[in-house]
Chains A and B, each alone.
Chain A
Amino acid sequence: MSKQSEQKSVSEKMNELSKLVAWFEGDDFELEQALDTYGKAEQLATEIEHDLVNLKNEITVLKEKFDT
């Protein structure tokens, strides 16, 4: 897992994966690049699954008071 992609949020990774899938379904598709791109997509999918299992929601109750 690359350090750069670790810093991305799940939604950013999902967007990236959607773009890769769109490339496969678009007119720019080239068989020569397909295996390389498929590798990236598979890695992203694995990272997203990993994130979904291991990350926790970061819930913060604000200290600000709203009663005055």
Chain B
Amino acid sequence: MASDQIPKFSVSDFIAVLNQSLEYSFGTVEIEGEVASFRVNQGKWVFFDIKDATGSVNCFMSLFQLRVPVEDGMKVVVRAVPKITAWGKFSLTIQSIRPSGEGSLKKSFELLKAKLDKEGLFSPERKRPLPEIPAHIAVISSTSAAGYADFIKILNDRWSGLIVDVAHVQVQGESAPEQIMRAIAYFNSRETLPEVLVIIRGGGSADDLAAFNDEPLVRAIAASRIPTIVGVGHEIDVSLADMVADVRAATPSNAAQLVVPDRKELTNTLGQLVRRILVRIDGMVDDYLKDTQAMLRQGWTMLDVRVDLLQSQLVTSRQVMAAYNPKAVLSRGYAIVRGEATTGGMITIEQQERIITAEVKDVETI
């Protein structure tokens, strides 16, 4: 090839052409590997290498794009644009990074859990109670997911008259956390807030459920003005979204059970309430009757006492009267003498059973 046919560039142009070629060839790529030399500079920029047994590539990203904790040794999948820097160094500009494989997912989960726990986001004092009988709830889920269908079925079986606003979002994959966060922000910005925010997703692999361990999403749930209930996966699955929610449901079906009461149970409760009122009225009537009867008994007792007293007074009076009765004196052998007590005078002597007329023979002064 003649030298005039060989492309000739300035350094900057050459780098620009290389980047253009890379962009045409790959655009955005996903690369799986192990993190090494992870560091954060100036609290803004993240640098690390991604490597496997025989290769290693420099990576760069801004800190705000880092949604999950990462440390050396973790297996990750990065989504990145390959680039040659102005200094001629090959690097991957990372758009997103997610742990890969059970060990890394678990490690990332534990790191974020410890961080959020330290901030008190899981503290029991932060938990708000859900209303006993909500009238308006908001649901964030994928309407095509089995978990959503289970939730709606149980909800309809248990309760009626409820207004349910549903935000259809992706519940797995890279865009899921952002979509769920937008839905949370949407409901929280409404003029009339729903009384409960329900976030649900059915079962899946650890990777499927990883969206619910996304740090910004977990923080958005914690910051919700509306009390939250999160039911993700099966009973054994625990996500950070569950932990930060006001109420954790084991499954979407369980979320429905926790959000609304059972109408059958409530009907029984209504019957019990009405019976309680009747018992109270019966009790009150009984109390009044008892009081009235007690007062009546007291009145009769007082009357008896007064009668006894009067009878006793009567007896005493009779005894006094009897003592003063002259006939009683006569009955003891005494006599009443009437007439002129002078010699030759006539007198009558009254005894109990006879009256004697007699003449006075003599009068002697004692």
Contacts and interface: CB of A to CB of B under 8 A. Distances in A.
- Asked if A and B are interacting partners, one says yes
B155 A57 contact: yes
Given A14-B133, A62-B167, A66-B186, A56 B160 contact: yes
Interface residues of A, number: 36
Contact of A66 (B132, B183, B273): B183
26 contacts: A9-B161, A11-B131, A12-B135, A14-B133, A17-B273, A18-B273, A24-B276, A24-B277, A25-B276, A31-B284, A34-B280, A34-B281, A48-B266, A52-B160, A54-B160, A55-B160, A55-B161, A58-B163, A59-B152, A60-B163, A60-B164, A61-B168, A62-B166, A62-B168, A64-B186, A66-B186
A29 to B, nearest CB: 7
A45 B135 contact: no
Contact of B143 (A24, A42, A61): A61
Interface string B156-196: 10011111111111100001000110110010000000000
Given A60-B166, A62-B168, A66-B179, A38 B277 contact: yes
Given A11-B131, A38-B277, A29 B161 contact: no
B294 to A, nearest CB: 17
Given A66-B179, A67-B179, 17 more contacts: A12-B135, A14-B133, A18-B273, A21-B273, A24-B281, A25-B276, A45-B271, A51-B160, A51-B161, A57-B159, A57-B161, A57-B162, A58-B162, A59-B166, A60-B164, A66-B168, A67-B169
A52 B266 contact: yes
Contacts of B132: 11, 14
A67 B133 contact: no
A45 B266 CA distance: 10
A17 B270 contact: yes
B14 interface: no
Interface of A: 9-12, 14, 17-18, 20-21, 24-25, 29, 31, 34-35, 38, 41-42, 45, 48-49, 51-62, 64, 66-67
Interface in B219-261: none
A45 B270 contact: yes
Contacts, number: 109
B288 A31 contact: yes
Interface residues of B, number: 42
A31 B285 contact: yes
A29 B280 CA distance: 10
Contacts of A64: 167, 186
A17 B207 CA distance: 48
Contacts of B180: 66
B196 to A, nearest CB: 12
B267 interface: yes
A59 B183 contact: no
Given A25-B276, A31-B288, A57-B162, A52 B167 contact: no
B133 A57 contact: no
B284 A34 contact: yes
Contacts of A61: 143, 166, 168
B306 interface: no
A9 B260 CA distance: 14
B167 A10 contact: no
